[in-house]
A and B are shown apart, each in its own frame.
Chain A
């Protein structure tokens, strides 16, 4: 029983990280209708920036805030400089561009900071909540940060007109322009937000898996799985999906298939969801009268 609970808690913790990655994916999907394959590497790169800042003596939360900000500007920059010329390009060109970004960030991080793994500090004390080894402060902290982020984003998209304008721009760009929405900037804003969220995900995961240029590769697949399970167009669904994938992955890994096949399990989930419920568990099926 204790092992079972431990697995659930561990699953929720990794689920929280998948949820963050999924949120970043959703952010770009909601604002541009594309899947950003470089999301994981962008997160990794932002985490290296945080590491460099901390290494230079900046206190943890200062580095955290600065990284979120720098990532936001970086995301904005990527959209304005690299993707704006491709706004009317076919989807495949964009996919190639995203994959290029992925390898560029990976190689850049390796070149600047080397491929040896680095330790990344955690803001949470290495303590247990109840003193029985079941739930650590670290685990609770990761889940809490994810939920807070989800709360902020939900409020932003549902209750602010800027969030509404972003959604409208993604859905029907021509019509959004006719409502005075500067569509191109909405896309940039989506990229900025996604980069910030990615940075947070990276900083949450780095203390657990250690920092290296490939740290997000596997996590991105789980993030995809989470986003798809919950519904790629829905932030709440994506977070729920991330948690579901995290817990299932841990349970299936420890009781059914063993640790080696965990990633395979995530891919099976992706294929299964696409086959059975393409909009995701919480996805909204858009009705259109013709």
Chain B
């Protein structure tokens, strides 16, 4: 299968502290790739580095085009939707305004309106809360809103940073079910960062295992799932 995103020798720094050490990743088009590892392994940093939100070196290519030097805004406009850690809700805007913000960069108004309906089809809860201040939504609803905002960008690739964070198990399951449907029906490729390894292994087809800024191993998720040593050493179950 073709790669939608190729990351070569990606390193990243926070001030003088190096967080990533020459990572190589290939994200398959149409698939779900998971990035797993303990706290501080560099999972979030990897997503940030792809979007040029931290100081980094190396190259990132999307569908063959080099996007290394592009600004965060341009990378987003090229079709990378990043659902950030902490959900990035615009708390003082209404739910509708949070979603409509995408119209600012969408040239195809009609398609954007269709995407809005699509978001409501996946997350009917958001439609019920349309005119509510987004800051008043529950954690799960805000996560849905964050994914909805990403969908509104009409993305080719979604980067999801811990969509399960701080949510009740039932809500997490619902969100992961919807993510699977989005991946299958909208043909959106996904790169997902998760602490909840079991859940991520279920959704993803391919897995990268990170430890202190290095790729320890990678392979089909079935392989990782069945390798008890790996699971115990890095995923803790």
Contact = CB atoms under 8 A, between A and B. Distances in A.
B133 interface: yes
A179 B153 contact: yes
A181 B53 contact: no
Given A161-B103, A162-B104, A289-B136, A172 B90 contact: yes
A175 B73 contact: no
Interface stretch (B22-30, B91-99, B188-196): B91-99
Contacts of A165: 101, 104
A125 interface: no
A286 B135 contact: yes
A85 interface: no
Interface in A234-290: 284, 286-289
Contacts of A177: 53, 72-73, 76
B67 to A, nearest CB: 14
The range of chain B's interface size is 20 to 34
Interface string B194-208: 000000000000000
Contact of A164 (B84, B97, B149, B153): B97
Q: Main secondary structure on chain A at its contact with chain B?
A: helix
A180 interface: yes
Interface string A105-117: 0000000000000
A178 B72 contact: yes
Given A164-B97, A174-B84, A286-B135, A179 B102 contact: yes
A189 to B, nearest CB: 12
Interface string B78-113: 000110100011111100010011111100000000
A164 B104 contact: yes
Interface in A104-147: none
B226 interface: no
Nearest to B98: A168
A180 B104 contact: yes
A287 B91 CA distance: 8
Nearest to B150: A178
A167 B76 CA distance: 19
A56 to B, nearest CB: 40
Contacts of A178: 51, 72, 76, 81-82, 84, 88
A171 interface: yes
B235 interface: no
A157 B116 CA distance: 21
A180 B79 CA distance: 10
B113 to A, nearest CB: 13
Given A180-B77, A289-B135, 5 more contacts: A161-B103, A177-B73, A178-B84, A179-B149, A284-B92
7 contacts: A164-B97, A168-B101, A175-B88, A176-B101, A181-B101, A286-B135, A288-B91
